[in-house]
Each structure stands twice: as structure tokens, then as C-alpha cells.
């Protein structure tokens, strides 16, 4: 190979390497890492967020390129800006000569175009000759589309120069984490218009462009440059600005501003209700210190529109003591008994009725693991024998729930849950029958949206489920008829408590409002006898009543779906004691539970010999 070819190859390798070196940051530039401004209001137009992004503060304003400030900027930074193409050759040569004479870099004579390239792509890069060569080349590249204007066509020289100047002003750094002149105007001077700047403010901003990392506006180097700019512009004023203020960030609800901005749902938040909720949560947790309770989260939406009303992912976003900035709403957690209503809805759709008798005894089931069985038991460890469908659901009886899942087939239940948006990542056999009690880990946000799908009360089965979960008479076994779960406008409500009291939750739904509250410890330690009806219920009750007061929850006379009617259920043989509730039209029951009379026709489940004997031992005599 000849020397000429070798030289040619080396030249192209160097050229390609240099081009790659130049264009790499442009090609892989990520706008998400740019400074920005987050400004949000709630549904009542109250400012809830006014802060810089983590990359700095950048405020957009209308730019007046004919303003005194811009004219002064050009005179100080690039006086031949409108006369050269992209680089001032004479100034550049003088700068190189000065650097060589001083044996160090004292000046670059960068044009505004070059400074834009530096500020936009290379703000953190060191100033070296190679780096300046890259900026010089990219400045030329960014000017190429406007070459026609220099030949008398295209956009016109003034137009493309103004575009570059505007882009420069959108990226210039002006101290104290402020980017773009709009941010500096607002933070330092409480202004939004360049034409409103005084001469002193103009000189101050131009000095900050030169020394953006200054520690104080009274530093000797900064002050000298300040005087130099003042004299060069022929300004005459007494220096009165003694300090520059910092950006005061407002962020009332950091979980929302961090997690919900991209969905544009933050504007639906009600800050008044949210602050009330936060106050109640903090007050309650303070009262629970001796019960080893440290944290809570609250999430509320309008189920019709999916608008987010409350979004509090933890007690305190800023406290390291309680796993700060951990958003429990989006975390994978086990929902415990709040899974049960979906199983019972499925049963209603499959032909079960409100007053059917469900079997509630401890029993062995397939664990889908070799040499192991799954044994159900209630939270109270008591067996209730035969329990009406509606009471089994509201009193959260585990034995009845697992037996119901067995009857409906586990795989069918698994698929039904997935139809309701439960993100079940494993097989039905992996979860086993604990699927209907606590096992799956899902995001609590998804749980709330799944509950929102239950609010369409035109569906007769959802109507019946809602009636079961709102009626306090159905809570007779575990929760009492008169409890904190009763509110001035009834809510369909379900509680949950984990084993060893590690989790304490409550979720409710109404056609206007779905509310979820979770109380727990970040270290997963057990609370001292804190259940879903106690402290989570205490917070829930107050939030619901405040939401009613603010008009979020209204009292409706719901239209009764076709096939449903208000029916009387005889509790004793002579019908002296009667219970009235919604049920399927034309459905009759034969059992009289007050007289301990249980008719086999009311039990839809197929009983085996063990179950028949167990019921007999518990003194349930089926006729």
C-alpha cells in the first residue's frame, strides 16, 4: 500500500473520529435532563406546585429581541453578531494569540452561536482546545441550514440570527440553578418582561453570564467585571442591589408532582381535602406511637372520570426515618381481604344468591405443592358452619371464601381477577387458594382502579354487591352493626388486616368516590392489635365525612336494575322476624336461621361426607 493511500486512510479515520466526537452528544442528547419549571394548580385553581426540576429552574417568557437588555448583551458578548456567519475570525485569532502569549487559556472569543452550543450540550465539560474545536464545528453545523439567507434567499439573515439568539437565551445559565433569562427575571427581580429591567439589573445579568458560578455578587472578580460592563455600556447608576434571592420552591404534594405530572391528572387534586387528610393522618399516627404504627398512605379518585383527588404515597415525603420518597401507592403490596369482593361478585354472576348458605369450616385443599395441603382458617379461628352469602363476605370469613373459590374452580377465579385488571404475574397453582385471601402482590393504585369498575350499579350483580357492602346489618359477626364504618352517606366498604398485624387497610367505593387507606410500618414490623376497622377505619371515616361535606359524595336514589327487587326474608318459621333487602326477583329461601332450621336447597355448594359430618358436629342439621 502506497504512502498516499495510507495517508488518505488515516485522514478519513481521524475525520470520522472527530465527527463522531462532535455529534455524539447531539445524537444522544436527552431533553428530559434539561432544566425546567413545574407549575401546577389544583381543581380550585390553588397553586400546589411551583418549583424547579431536579436539573434546574427554567421559566419561559416572551423574548423582546429589540429590548435594551438584548442590545447590551450583543454589545458585550458578540458585537459583530449580525455581521459574521457563525464565528468572529478576527476575535478568535486575537484570543489564540493572547492564550499563547500568556501560556494559559485567558479567552476564547466565543460567539453567541458557540456559547449556545456550549450551554446546551456541554455545560459540564472542561474548556480545552479539543472541546472548543468541537463547539466551533457544531456552531458551523447548526448554521448550515441558514446558508441560503447569506445568499439573498431563505429566511433572511436577521431571522435565523434571531432564532439562534433566542435559543441561546433559552439555555444561558444565570447562577443559583437558574437557566434562561426568564428564570432570572422572576427569581431575582420579580419581573416577566425584558423591557422592565433597570440598567443595574441589566449589568448584573450580563455579569452573571460571564461568572455563573460566582459565590457572591460582591466577589472581587465579579465586581470588577460588573464595573467593566457598566462602563462599556455607558450606564450611570448607583449600585443598590445587595443580594439576589433564591428560588423558593412550593411543593405541597411532592408524591403527586413527582409521579402524576406526565398524566396531567394533578390538576384534578383538591388541596383542601388533601391537607385535611394529611392533618388527620399525622394526628392519628402520633396517637399510635405506643402501638408501633409509623406510616400511612391515602389514595382517592373519582371513578367516573378517573380524576385523582388525593394522592399521598407516605406520611412524609421528606423524612428519612420512614423510608422517605417511597410511594406506597405504586409499590407492590399484598391486598389481603380486599380481594374478596371480586370473588363474591363472580359467584353472583355464576348463580349464587344473596341469602344462599355458604359452608364455613376449616378444611384441607390442594396446595399444588408435593406432599403438602392447604388448610383454611378464619381470622378468629372460629368455624361458623353455615353462613349467609352476604354475611360471609362482609365479615370476611376465610373458610367460606376459600370454599367458594374451590366451588368456582381456582383457574376460573384467577382469570376473573385478571379481567378486573389484577396484575397476576404467576400461574394459578403458584398462588393456590390463598389467591382469594392475600397472596398476590399488586400495586395499590391498580387495586383502586379495579374497585372503580364496581361502581356501575346498572349491572344487577354489582348493584347487589354494593348493597351488601353498604348495609351495616351484614357486619353482625365481626364488625358490629354500629361501627365507625357507618357514614352519613353509606359507602361500600371492605377492610383488610394482615397476619401478625403488619398491614391495616380499608377501601370503599361509591359512584362518586373511591377511597383507599393503608397503615403500616416500613420495616414490616407488627403493629399492636391495629386492624382495618380501628385506625385505618378512623382515618377513613373522617376523610369520607369531609368529602361529603365538600360535595364530592352525593346521596342518590339509585335505579333498581331489572331482575332485582326489595324482598322480605323470614328469619324464623312463623315470619315474626323479617329482614328486608335487595335480592333477585322471584328467589325464595327455605331456611329459617333464627330457629336453627337449615334447608339443603339453600346450599348451592356440593358437600362431601366430611363436610356433612362436620356440620352435624357443629349442630347444623340440614333438612
pLDDT tens digits along 278-309: 999 999 888 887 888 888 899 999 999 988 99
Report whether 334 contacts 344 (CB < 8 A).
Answer: no
Listed range (80-89, 351-360, 452-461) with the worst mean pLDDT = 80-89
Is the fold of 31-232 the same as that of 255-334+479-558? Answer: no
- Beta carbons within 10 angstroms of residue 413's beta carbon: 24
pLDDT at 341: 94
> For every residue of 545-605, which 3-state class applies, written as one string?
HHHHHCCCCCCCCCCCCCCEEEEEEECCCCCCCEEEEEEECCCCCCCEHHHCEECHHHCCC
- Inform me whether the pLDDT recorded for 26 exceeds 80: no
pLDDT at 533: 64
Angle at 582 between CA 531 and CA 449, to 5 degrees: 50
pLDDT at 106: 54
Q: What is the pLDDT of residues 53-73, one digit of tens each?
A: 888 898 888 889 999 999 999
Residue 478 parent element (H or E):
none
Distance CA 15, CA 270 (A): 59
Instruction: Report the C-alpha dihedral over residues 307, 310, 311, 314, rounded to 10 degrees.
Output: -170
Listed range (223-237, 269-283, 330-344) with the worst mean pLDDT = 330-344
Instruction: Considering the domain delimited by 31-232, tell me its CATH architecture.
Output: Orthogonal Bundle (1.10)
pLDDT at 155: 45
pLDDT at 152: 43
pLDDT at 498: 75
578 compared with 263, residue with greater pLDDT: 578
**Cα–Cα nearest to 30, from 125, 120, 93:** 120
- Inform me whether the pLDDT recorded for 151 exceeds 50: no
| pLDDT classification of 91: cutoffs 50, 70, 90 | low
What are the backbone angles phi and psi of residue 4, rounded to the nearest 5°? -65, -40
Residue percentage of the chain with pLDDT more than 70:
88
- Inform me whether the pLDDT recorded for 112 exceeds 90: no
What are the backbone angles phi and psi of residue 242, rounded to the nearest 5°? -95, -25
> What CATH number does domain 255-334+479-558 carry, 3.30.160.40, 3.40.50.2000, 3.30.450.330, 3.10.520.10?
3.30.450.330
The conformation of residue 517, written as its DSSP 8-state character, comes to E
Distance CA 398, CA 230 (A): 81
pLDDT at 31: 64
| pLDDT classification of 154: cutoffs 50, 70, 90 | very low
- Inform me whether the pLDDT recorded for 25 exceeds 80: no
Q: What is the pLDDT of residues 490-536, one digit of tens each?
A: 999 998 877 777 788 899 999 999 999 998 887 777 777 666 566 78
Distance CA 424, CA 401 (A): 19
Report whether 321 contacts 531 (CB < 8 A).
Answer: no
pLDDT at 200: 96
Residue percentage of the chain with pLDDT more than 90:
42
| pLDDT classification of 101: cutoffs 50, 70, 90 | low
pLDDT at 95: 60
30 compared with 407, residue with greater pLDDT: 407
**Largest pairwise CA distance in the chain:** 116
pLDDT at 198: 96
Report whether 619 contacts 607 (CB < 8 A).
Answer: no
Domain residue limits, the chain:
1-29, 31-232, 255-334+479-558
Distance CA 443, CA 422 (A): 9
Tell me what the mean pLDDT of segment 31-51 comes to.
83
Return mean pLDDT, the chain.
Answer: 85
Contacts of the segment 606-613: beta carbons below 8 A, 24+ positions apart: 606/407, 607/359, 610/363, 611/359, 611/361, 611/363
Listed range (320-324, 451-455, 467-471, 477-481) with the worst mean pLDDT = 477-481
Amino acid at each position: 500500500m502506497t504512502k498516499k493511500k495510507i495517508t488518505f486512510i488515516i485522514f478519513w479515520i481521524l475525520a470520522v473520529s472527530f465527527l463522531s466526537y462532535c455529534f455524539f452528544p447531539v445524537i444522544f442528547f436527552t431533553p428530559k435532563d434539561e432544566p425546567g419549571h413545574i407549575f401546577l394548580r389544583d381543581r380550585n385553581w390553588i397553586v400546589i406546585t411551583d418549583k424547579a426540576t431536579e436539573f434546574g429552574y427554567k421559566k419561559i417568557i416572551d423574548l423582546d429581541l429589540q429590548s435594551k437588555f438584548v442590545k447590551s448583551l450583543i454589545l458585550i458578548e458578540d458585537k459583530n453578531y449580525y455581521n459574521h456567519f457563525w464565528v468572529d475570525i478576527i476575535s478568535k485569532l486575537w484570543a489564540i494569540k493572547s492564550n499563547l502569549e500568556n501560556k494559559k487559556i485567558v479567552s476564547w472569543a466565543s460567539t453567541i452561536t458557540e456559547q449556545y452550543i456550549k450551554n446546551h450540550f456541554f455545560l459540564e465539560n472542561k474548556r480545552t482546545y479539543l472541546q472548543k474545536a468541537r463547539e466551533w464545528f457544531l456552531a458551523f453545523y447548526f448554521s448550515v441550514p441558514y446558508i441560503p439567507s447569506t445568499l439573498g434567499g431563505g429566511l433572511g439573515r436577521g431571522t435565523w440570527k434571531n432564532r439562534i439568539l433566542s435559543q441561546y437565551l433559552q439555555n444561558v445559565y444565570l447562577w443559583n440553578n437558574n437557566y434562561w433569562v426568564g428564570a432570572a427575571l422572576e427569581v431575582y427581580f420579580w419581573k416577566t418582561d425584558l423591557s422592565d429591567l433597570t440598567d443595574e439589573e441589566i449589568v448584573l445579568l450580563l455579569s452573571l453570564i460571564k461568572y455563573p458560578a460566582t459565590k457572591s455578587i460582591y466577589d472581587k472578580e465579579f465586581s470588577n467585571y460588573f464595573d467593566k460592563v457598566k462602563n462599556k455600556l455607558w450606564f450611570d447608576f448607583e449600585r443598590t442591589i445587595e443580594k439576589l434571592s433564591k428560588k423558593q420552591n412550593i411543593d405541597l404534594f411532592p408524591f403527586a408532582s413527582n409521579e402524576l405530572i406526565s398524566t396531567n391528572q394533578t390538576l384534578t387534586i383538591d388541596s383542601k381535602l388533601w391537607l385535611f387528610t394529611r392533618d388527620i393522618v399525622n394526628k392519628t399516627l402520633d396517637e399510635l406511637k405506643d402501638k408501633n404504627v409509623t406510616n400511612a398512605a391515602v389514595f382517592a379518585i373519582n371513578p367516573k372520570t378517573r380524576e385523582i383527588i388525593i394522592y399521598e404515597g407516605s406520611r412524609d415525603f421528606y423524612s428519612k426515618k420512614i423510608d422517605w420518597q417511597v410511594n406506597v401507592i405504586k409499590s407492590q403490596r399484598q391486598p389481603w381481604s380486599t380481594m374478596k369482593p371480586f370473588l363474591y361478585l363472580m359467584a353472583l354472576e355464576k348463580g349464587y344468591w344473596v341469602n344462599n348458605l355458604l359452608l364455613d369450616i376449616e378444611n384441607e385443599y390442594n396446595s399444588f405443592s408435593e406432599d403438602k395441603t392447604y388448610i383454611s382458617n378464619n381470622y378468629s379461628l372460629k368455624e361458623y358452619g353455615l353462613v349467609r352469602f352476604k354475611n360471609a363476605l362482609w365479615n370476611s370469613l376465610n373458610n367460606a371464601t376459600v370454599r367458594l373459590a374451590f366451588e368456582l374452580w381456582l383457574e376460573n377465579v384467577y382469570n376473573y381477577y385478571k379481567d378486573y385488571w389484577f396484575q397476576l404475574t404467576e400461574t394459578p397453582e403458584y398462588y393456590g387458594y390463598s389467591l382469594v385471601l392475600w397472596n398476590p402482590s399488586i400495586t395499590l393504585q391498580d387495586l383502586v382502579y379495579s374497585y372503580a369498575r364496581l361502581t356501575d350499579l346498572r349491572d344487577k350483580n354489582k348493584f347487589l354487591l354494593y348493597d351488601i357492602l353498604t348495609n351495616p346489618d351484614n357486619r353482625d359477626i365481626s364488625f358490629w352493626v354500629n361501627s365507625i364504618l357507618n357514614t352519613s352517606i353509606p359507602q361500600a366498604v371492605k377492610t383488610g388486616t394482615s397476619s401478625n398485624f403488619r398491614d391495616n387497610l380499608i377501601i370503599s367505593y361509591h359512584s362518586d368516590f373511591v377511597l383507599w387507606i393503608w397503615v403500616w410500618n416500613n420495616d414490616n414490623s407488627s403493629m399492636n392489635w391495629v386492624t382495618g376497622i380501628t385506625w385505618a377505619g378512623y382515618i377513613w371515616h373522617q376523610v369520607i365525612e369531609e368529602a361529603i361535606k365538600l360535595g364530592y359524595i352525593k346521596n342518590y336514589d339509585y335505579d333498581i336494575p331489572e331482575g332485582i327487587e326489595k324482598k322480605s326474608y323470614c328469619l324464623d318459621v312463623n315470619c315474626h322476624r323479617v329482614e328486608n333487602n335487595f335480592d333477585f326477583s322471584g328467589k325464595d329461601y327455605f331456611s329459617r336461621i333464627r330457629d336453627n332450621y337449615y334447608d339443603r336447597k339453600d346450599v348451592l355448594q356440593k358437600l362431601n361426607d366430611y363436610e356433612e359430618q362436620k356440620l352435624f358436629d357443629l349442630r347444623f342439621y340440614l333438612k
